[in-house]
Structure 1
Amino acid sequence: KFDITPPEKKKKREKKEKKVEEEKKEPEPEPEKKKFDM
């Protein structure tokens, strides 16, 4: 199986996947929850 994806696209995809993984690791604080806490 050959990877015909251009290197530029491949890099972008890898970057995107990395970003998604980071987001999974640290979930963003929900502002709505904070409002309810007050």
Structure 2
Amino acid sequence: MALRWRVIGWLLVIELVLGQNLIVRFLGAISGPVA
């Protein structure tokens, strides 16, 4: 449970600090070579 909250918090921090651009790139990298 704690690990889940830790991951969620980590993602929130990244989104707030770097913005959604990194999130989009990350999702794109997971989905496949869409770049």
Taking structure 2 as the reference length, the TM-score comes to: 0.50
Taking structure 1 as the reference length, the TM-score comes to: 0.47
- Higher relative contact order by CA 8 Å / sep ≥ 6: 1 or 2? 2
| Larger proportion of helix | 2
| Structure ID, larger Rg | 1
